[in-house]
Amino acid sequence: MKVHWKAKTFAFTVLICRGFLTACRSIDNELKRHIEQRVQSEQLLQRDVRKYDEAPEWQLPEPGAFASAKSFRDKVVMPFVNKLKSLIKNLTIQCVRLKEEVLQLKKEKKRLSDNVEFYKGKIKDMSDKTQMLQEKVDDLERVKRYVGAEQIDTIIRKVKEQERTEQQIRKYDRSYVAR
């Protein structure tokens, strides 16, 4: 059984759309993995925070027996506070960046999900058209079996010839009108 070229074209288009759909799903999975990595990073960050609670360099030492409050403040407390300020500033900047990245990833995921839904609709439409065209091909094959393939081929050849003749007449008419 011969398949009409339009049916082949629609089938090919459906295959292309399915490939795009697969690519979109792959990107969606990649975005999910990226978000999952960020969640794991957050868990690692929480472990690092525990490190700050226990590490000696992040503990304020006891003042010496003969240390004055001013010298203890200047030599121990203020460098420690400045170190904490710097750490908080860096963590805040990193947190803001991560939040912006999460928002951007969510927007990208939504856009890709919308594209996937759009192409799912396109694929369904093309599948319906392909099915309709296949039914027409099957009907034509039935007519060919009933009337005979040679007679159908002759009719098709005559109709194509008539269409070409009409097209040439229109072409000449346009060139004549343009003068």
Average pLDDT over residues 149-163: 91
* Residue 9: band (very low, low, confident or very high) from pLDDT cuts 50, 70, 90: low
75: DSSP letter: I
- Indicate if the pLDDT at residue 159 is higher than 90: yes
- Indicate if the pLDDT at residue 164 is higher than 80: yes
Q: How far apart are the C-alpha atoms of 111 and 127, rounded to whole Å?
A: 24
Q: How far apart are the C-alpha atoms of 74 and 20, rounded to whole Å?
A: 64
State pLDDT tens for residues 91-134.
889 889 989 988 998 998 899 889 888 988 888 888 888 889 88
Whole-number pLDDT of residue 107: 92
Q: How far apart are the C-alpha atoms of 139 and 4, rounded to whole Å?
A: 12
Beta-carbon neighbour count of residue 126 at 10 Å?
20
Whole-number pLDDT of residue 76: 83
Q: How far apart are the C-alpha atoms of 40 and 43, rounded to whole Å?
A: 5
State pLDDT tens for residues 54-73.
777 777 777 777 778 888 88
63: DSSP letter: P
What are the residue ranges of helices labelled H in the chain? 5-54, 69-72, 78-147, 149-178
Q: How far apart are the C-alpha atoms of 114 and 24, rounded to whole Å?
A: 10
